[in-house]
Amino acid sequence: MGDKIQEEIMDLPDDWWRYTSTCQILSDWFIRHLLGLFLSLDEGGQIRHGVLTGFLLHYQDILLWVTAGHVIDGIDEILSNPNIKVLRMHWLDGCEIPGAESIPVHNRNLKTFSTFKSDGIDFGMAAITGLDAENILRNDRVQVMTEQIWKNLHLAQPEGYYILGFPEEWFNVQEDHLPDNRILGSAQANLACLPVKRIEYRGPSDTKEFWSDPGAFYGKVLPFADELDQQPKNITGMSGGPVFSIERTTAGILYRLVGIQRSQDKDERLIRAEPIQRVIKIMKGGV
């Protein structure tokens, strides 16, 4: 990075990371790590579509789709339910997919792992193998994270944080019925990159399970610094997305994986995430 560019970065205002333009630029970086899972389901004649949020991680030479545990549990329930027909199941390696056809999940007997029901830690993952893994890794738009993404996390001096994911309200499906009874469909899943301020744990609450974990990462979704109203009103659908820290260093802008988004308090626009340190500990025994 040139000295002039570096000087300009270091001279940015303290809230540089909260501007709409900054979030748009960084979302182009971050989206390389994310992978949505598109599902089209027939439940007793009712057709339902959706995109689940997750991200790619290489760990112990295994390509993993990492997400929230309750997301994995939901997938397992869908695939094991004889009353639900899975019409389409695709890995989405881009935001705009004509026909919602990116990379079909060839083996739907996914090897999954979740700790949500067993111990309440909302972490899950699925191993991506075979042809699916080959196709994903061949895509130059995809960048798989490694353990380097959380290395030296204790040395981080975050200026702020971001949550990433595909909110339900930003997901659209269009279907055109053709004269020969065929249906031509397209899906658009838009990525949200939202600035977050970390907040202190408030203590247990008799009315909100949200505050049940003193060791979780808690944050507040902040409006953009330029006050442009371009955020989803509801972040449902972003569960399983990464929480990144952001900071400026002498080498440039540095981001680290600090957690996995799991739940929200809609009234106050608060988020709760599983800390990556907790996830690492589980992965060392769970993979």
What does the pLDDT look like over 27-61, one tens digit per residue?
Answer: 999 999 999 999 999 999 998 999 999 999 999 88
What's the Cα-to-Cα distance from 155 to each of 98, 122, 249, 269, 283, rounded to whole Å?
A: 43, 26, 12, 28, 22
62-67 vs 96-98, strand pairing mode: unpaired
Residues 6+ apart with CB under 8 A from 234: 167, 168, 169, 266
Q: What is the pLDDT of residues 77-92, one digit of tens each?
A: 999 999 999 999 999 8
Q: Does the pLDDT at position 272 exceed 80?
A: yes
Which residue range is the domain that position 95 belongs to? Answer: 3-286
In this structure, what DSSP letter does residue 206 have?
Answer: S
The pTM (predicted TM-score) of the whole model is 0.91
In the chain, the amino acid numbered 217 is: F
| Average pLDDT across the chain, whole number | 89
Mean pLDDT over 200-227 rounds to 94
128 has a pLDDT exceeding 50 = yes
Average pLDDT over residues 63-72: 97
The whole-number pLDDT of residue 169 equals: 93
Q: Give the pLDDT confidence score for residue 1 in this predicted structure.
A: 52
pLDDT of residue 3: 64
State phi, psi for 213 to the nearest 5 degrees: -120, 105
**What is the average per-residue pLDDT within 102-108?**
86
Give the residue-averaged pLDDT of 178-190: 65
Average pLDDT over residues 142-167: 94
User: Looking at the 3D structure of the chain, how many domains does it have?
Assistant: 1
pLDDT of residue 227: 80
Q: What is the per-residue pLDDT for 99?
A: 46
- Could you report the per-residue pLDDT of 245-269, keeping only the tens digit for each? 999 988 889 999 999 999 999 999 9
pLDDT of residue 278: 95
Q: For strand 84-92 and strand 160-165, is the pairing parallel, antiparallel, or unpaired?
A: unpaired
CATH number at residue 200: 2.40.10.120
Q: Give tens-digit pLDDT for 223-243.
A: 999 987 889 999 999 999 999
